[in-house]
């Protein structure tokens, strides 16, 4: 792979630590960190800003910056020309001399941090070379990530952590030198198996350890401009099956992520999708359990079936306004996802799209969505509220089933049908208003909504039927008024409504009444005054004749 070496940034890092055999620090140790090289601007356009800090503490969770002395902070340095604001051909970086640091026995951790903000027009990659660390020293542990990487316009952070082990009694002085090569992040074509402009995966040799920690996937043919794509695959022979890279960069020009391409790449933590990609293939990143963030470009129009299914570490994702559809299972099992906003460009949310996103607390659906698929939010047990836009015409089967923290929801007047089990086992739902536009309530719609105490129907309701077990298990419901247009009440419609004592029915003609539709604890059934005798003699209703009386 042709690479352009830009510059060695960090010249020296010296850390001298002294510890008595008794575990008591005899003297104040000295830490010196110097950045004294020249950061040079080349025609390739490297354009960065550096800043840094030293931390110490008795654990990684208690590390604190050393801010009592300005010497301990690396001020921001850039390769800007201060007079013009443009990149400089030769910008010297001043030394960062930390000086003496007092250590106590309990402060066994040191972290030295360098932040590299990338103003370049391309990603940059810094690879450190470290000398002076004795890996055989049993008293010290060194944690080195091996690289620093920065997206365009973003900041990459390199952290070197030194830890004195708990049983350490002494440690020799350390003189550690770290040097970086900062370079433009480019693809190594020799890594890939490319046939007919399709990337079929990594070359066999590169599936063996050590894997590249950062994999840069080319977007165009080597030395040319022909766009490449990642092969679609439906079998278990995925393009990057078993990939152990933690960061993947898809370069501009790539037209497709490919179906199943990165499926089950459990080491992948971050990926960048370029503007040339218009669709994210089916199951493209399914099972990437370490993926914490992803940037979807504004050119993507569709998110495929199971695209991010079971990405259990994904905490947030921004769906660009270019996306028009979210397919079935797209984010199913993303158990760390806490919030999401669906833009107005999206017209459909597929079945099971967010099922079992157990940490999702809120979701905003914009007005472009017309349909919400089967079980789209089923099992989102942390979801407390959701706004359904007026563009939605139907709420599908089991859409909110098992959303046990959902306390309220407003169904817009555009909805004509509520599917079977739509709010099943939403045990915290306390009240709901069903708009007059709804014509049917399906089977098990409110089954197990044990907290539901109030149900109201819109004026001039068009409701015609109440499905099987529709309100079964609504143990907090004490009364309900059924609209005049209802012609059918199915079996067990109100079964398990243990506190339901009063039912008011506005229909002059008795609706068809299913088996066990009304529980025995109901003691008052009110009907229109001119229909009392009709109800008392009607099939199914006659067994409740003593409880039937006229609406007052």
pLDDT tens for 190-227 read 889 899 999 998 877 665 555 677 888 999 999 889 99
Over residues 192-202, the pLDDT tens digits come to 989 999 999 88
pLDDT in tens, 307-321: 999 999 998 888 889
Residue with tokens 């590169």: 206
Q: Mean pLDDT in the chain?
A: 80
Give the residue with greater pLDDT, 480 vs 39. 480
Which residues face 127 on adjacent strands?
A: 181
Mean pLDDT for the stretch of residues 115-131: 76
pLDDT over 60 (residue 235): yes
pLDDT for the residue numbered 21 = 22
- Nearest-Å Rg of the Cα atoms of the chain is 32
SS3 content of the chain, % helix, strand, coil (to 5): 5, 30, 65
Backbone φ and ψ for 200, nearest 5 degrees, come out as: -95, -5
Which three-class secondary structure state does DSSP give residue 207?
helix
With a cut of 60, say whether residue 328 has pLDDT above it: yes
Burial class (CB in 10 A: 0-12, 13-18, 19+), 488: middle
In degrees, rounded to 5, the angle at the alpha carbon of residue 243 between the alpha carbons of residues 127 and 201 is 105
Q: What is the pLDDT of residue 171?
A: 52
Secondary structure (DSSP) of 179-204: EEEEEE----GGGEEEETTEEEEE-G
Q: Please check whether residue 380 is in contact with residue 360, taking contact to mean a CB–CB distance below 8 angstroms.
A: yes
Number of CB atoms found within 10 A of residue 31's CB: 23
- Between residues 18 and 313, the one the model is more confident about: 313
| Closest residue by Cα to residue 112 from 85, 144, 87 | 144
Q: How far apart are CA 242 and CA 264, in angstroms?
A: 7
Q: Could you give the CA distance from residue 288 to residue 266 in angstroms, rounded to a whole number?
A: 5
Residues 455-478 pLDDT 10s = 999 989 999 999 999 999 999 999
Per the structure block, which two tokens stand in for 30?
């000295």
How far is residue 226's CA from residue 199's CA, in Å, rounded to a whole number?
Answer: 13
Cβ(431)–Cβ(410) under 8 Å? no
Rounded Cα gap, residues 155 and 140, in angstroms: 29
DSSP class of residue 368 equals T
Cα(226)–Cα(228) distance, rounded to whole angstroms? Answer: 7
Task: Please name the residue that has the structure tokens 């179906």.
Answer: 259
The Cα 126–Cα 323 span in angstroms is: 34
* pLDDT tens, residue by residue, 374-391: 999 999 999 998 888 899
Q: In Å, what is the CA distance from 22 to each residue of 28, 67, 104, 139, 187? A: 16, 29, 13, 14, 52
Strand stretches in 197-318, DSSP E = 198-202, 214-217, 229-230, 247-250, 270-272, 279-280, 293-295, 302-303
Main-chain dihedrals φ then ψ at residue 525, nearest 5 degrees: -125, 110
Which pLDDT score is estimated for 272? 77
pLDDT, tens digit, 9 for 90 and up, residues 253-297: 999 888 999 999 998 988 878 889 988 989 999 999 999 878 788
CA 281 centroid distance within chain: 18
Give this prediction's pTM.
0.73
Average of pLDDT values for 238-255? 86
In this prediction, residue 481 has a pLDDT band, given cuts at 50, 70 and 90, of very high
Angle CA(173)–CA(175)–CA(181) in degrees, nearest 5?
155
3-class state of residue 466 by DSSP: strand
Tell me the longest C-alpha to C-alpha distance in the chain. Answer: 101
Strand pairing report for 214-217 and 229-230:
unpaired
Residue 182 bridge partners (DSSP): 7, 126
pLDDT in tens, 488-545: 999 999 999 999 999 999 999 999 999 999 999 999 999 999 999 999 999 999 999 9
- Confidence (pLDDT) at 17: 26
What pLDDT score does 514 carry?
95
What tokens does 500 get? 């339901």
Q: What φ, ψ does residue 164 adopt, rounded to 5°?
A: -85, 125
Distance CA 376, CA 357 (A): 10
């Amino acid at each position: 792979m042709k690479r352009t070496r830009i510059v060695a940034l960090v010249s020296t890092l010296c850390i001298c630590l002294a510890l008595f055999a008794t575990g008591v620090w005899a003297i104040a140790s000295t830490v010196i960190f110097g950045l004294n090289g020249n950061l040079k601007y080349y025609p390739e356009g490297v354009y960065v800003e550096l800043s840094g800090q030293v931390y110490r503490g008795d654990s990684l969770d208690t590390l604190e910056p050393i801010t009592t002395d300005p010497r301990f902070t690396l001020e921001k340095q850039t390769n800007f020309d201060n007079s013009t604001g443009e990149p400089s051909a030769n910008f010297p970086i001043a030394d960062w001399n930390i000086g003496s640091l007092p250590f106590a026995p309990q402060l066994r951790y040191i972290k030295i941090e360098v932040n590299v903000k990338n103003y370049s027009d391309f990603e940059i990659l810094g690879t450190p070379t470290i000398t002076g660390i004795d890996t055989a020293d049993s008293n010290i542990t060194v944690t080195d990530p091996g690289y620093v990487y920065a997206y365009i316009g973003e900041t990459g952070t390199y952290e070197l952590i030194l830890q004195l082990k708990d049983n350490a009694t002494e440690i020799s002085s350390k003189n550690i030198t770290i040097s970086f090569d900062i370079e433009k992040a480019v693809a190594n074509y020799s890594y890939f198996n490319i046939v007919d402009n399709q990337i079929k995966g990594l070359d066999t040799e590169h599936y063996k350890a050590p894997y590249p920690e950062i994999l840069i996937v080319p977007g165009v043919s080597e030395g040319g401009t022909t766009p490449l794509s990642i092969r679609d695959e439906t079998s278990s022979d995925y393009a990057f099956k078993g990939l152990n890279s933690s960061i993947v960069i898809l370069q501009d020009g790539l037209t497709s992520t490919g179906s199943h391409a990165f499926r089950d790449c459990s080491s992948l933590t971050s990926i960048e999708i370029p503007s040339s990609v218009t669709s994210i293939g089916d199951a493209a990143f399914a099972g990437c359990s370490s993926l914490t963030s992803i940037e979807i470009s504004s050119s993507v129009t569709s998110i495929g079936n199971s695209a991010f299914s079971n990405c259990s570490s994904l905490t947030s994702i921004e769906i660009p306004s270019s996306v028009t559809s979210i397919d079935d299972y797209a984010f199913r099992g993303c158990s760390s996802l806490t919030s999401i906003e669906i833009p107005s460009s999206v017209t459909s949310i597929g079945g099971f799209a967010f099922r079992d996103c157990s940490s999702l607390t809120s979701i905003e659906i914009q007005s472009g969505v017309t349909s919400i698929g089967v079980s789209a939010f089923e099992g989102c047990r942390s979801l407390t509220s959701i706004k359904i836009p007026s563009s939605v015409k139907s709420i599908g089967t089991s859409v909110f089933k098992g959303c046990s923290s959902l306390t309220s929801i407003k169904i817009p007047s555009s909805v004509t049908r509520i599917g079977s089990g739509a709010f099943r086992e939403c045990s915290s739902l306390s009240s709901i208003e069903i708009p007059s536009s709804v014509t049917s309530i399906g089977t098990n719609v409110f089954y197990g909504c044990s907290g539901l105490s109030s149900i109201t129907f819109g004026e001039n309701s068009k409701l015609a039927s109440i499905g099987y077990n529709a309100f079964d298990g609504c143990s907090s419901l004490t009364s309900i008024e059924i609209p005049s247009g209802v012609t059918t009440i199915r079996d067990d419609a109100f079964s398990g409504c243990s506190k339901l004592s009063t039912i008011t029915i506005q229909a002059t003609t008795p609706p068809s009444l299913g088996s066990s539709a009304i529980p025995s604890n109901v003691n008052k059934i009110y009907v229109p005054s001119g229909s009392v005798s009709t109800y008392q003699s009607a099939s199914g209703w006659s067994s409740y004749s003593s409880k039937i009386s006229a609406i007052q």
